[in-house]
Amino acid sequence: MNLQTLKYFVSLSRTKSFTKAAEECFVSQPALSRSISELENKLGCSLVIRNSRLVELTEEGKIFALEAEKVLRQYDIMIEKVTNGIDKFKEPVKVGYIIYGHITVFNKKISQIPNRKLIEIQPIYDTLFNVWENLQSDEIDMAIVPEVCINYNNVNSFRLSKSKLYVVVPSKHELFNKDFIKFSHLKNQKFIGWDSEEVPLLIDAHSKICEENGFKPKFVAYGKKMGDVMTLSILHNALGFAAYDSTIVDQKEFRLKPILDSEEIFGLACIWKKTNRNPSLERLITMLEK
């Protein structure tokens, strides 16, 4: 039994829904359900009634929920008391991101930090170009970017995830129903590229890896954001590149497929300027690196 399991159960007791509790805790529904079942096995009793529309607590479950809330409150009090200089962490950490899926990955990561509530996170959505500019001008403290875009000496980085290169495949494309994709399948295909003025490092990385695998990609249109790439892929019946597998989800209009022989260098990273002196940022980085 650990604190995370207690948080899962308290959330479940409050929302009365495995789905809502899973969303609130940034975890999959099967994982949350499994944790609750393991908790019941350890306690040797049933805590929830699962055969009703809304989750109901057994008498034992009601008692456990009250006691679990007390434990979590006491834990928060303990953390606050032992954290020195807590007032200096009042300044928020402004985090720039370019795709909603990226901030989701970031949120899942920080949700695992017990005392994350001590630091306020302000997510700011923008293009990759503007995120870079805002980072350099100290308008934001941190940026979430594809790993291949890190090409500056004045920043530090923390790897959030690793990933192969993915392609967006529209429903009318010949590769839509293919079980797997390799670089050899991409020769002579049309592509939607990322705007060279907005994200030069990203399109350069995509072009380079294609050329290393024996072909030069033919770009027929360019997008500044992931939404642009998806829309243009459908309009031109062309393939688009994605840097990480959670950027979008499969829909009727397209599927997201990994390139099997791609290296895992297209994941996500948090970056920040070496000269940034925001105490809250320093605290957040320490938490992430533990």
Task: Give the CATH number for residue 11.
Answer: 1.10.10.10
pLDDT greater at residue 246 or residue 269 = 269
- Give the pLDDT score at 273: 96
Is 276 in the same domain as 153?
yes
**Structural domain range at position 188:** 165-258
Question: Of 26, 58, 84, which residue constitutes the final position of a domain?
Answer: 84
Is 196 in the same domain as 228?
yes
Is 234 in the same domain as 252?
yes
pLDDT in tens, 31-86: 999 999 999 999 999 999 987 678 899 999 999 999 999 999 998 888 777 665 55
Is 174 in the same domain as 233?
yes
- Give the pLDDT score at 171: 94
pTM of the model: 0.59
Is 178 in the same domain as 244?
yes
Is 123 in the same domain as 245?
no
Is 101 in the same domain as 157?
yes
Residue 173 clears pLDDT 80, i.e. is over it: yes
- Give the pLDDT score at 13: 92
- Give the pLDDT score at 191: 98
Is 169 in the same domain as 246?
yes
For the sheet with 155-161, list strands across it. 121-125, 93-97, 142-146, 268-273, 155-161
Q: How far is residue 101 from each of residues 145, 186, 239, 242, 247, measured CA to CA in Å?
A: 11, 25, 19, 11, 4
CA distance 168 to 162: 18
- Give the pLDDT score at 149: 78
Is 153 in the same domain as 278?
yes
CATH number of residue 237's parent domain: 3.40.190.10
pLDDT in tens, 118-148: 788 999 998 888 898 999 999 999 999 888 8
| pLDDT, the chain, mean | 88
Is 186 in the same domain as 63?
no
| Rounded mean pLDDT, 207-229 | 92
- Give the pLDDT score at 24: 87
Is 134 in the same domain as 19?
no
Is 158 in the same domain as 273?
yes
Question: Of 17, 49, 84, which residue constitutes the final position of a domain?
Answer: 84
Tokens of 36: 């609750």
State how many domains the chain has.
3
Residue 70 contacts residue 78 (beta carbons within 8 Å): no
Question: Of 41, 59, 84, which residue constitutes the final position of a domain?
Answer: 84
Tokens of 126: 């923008």
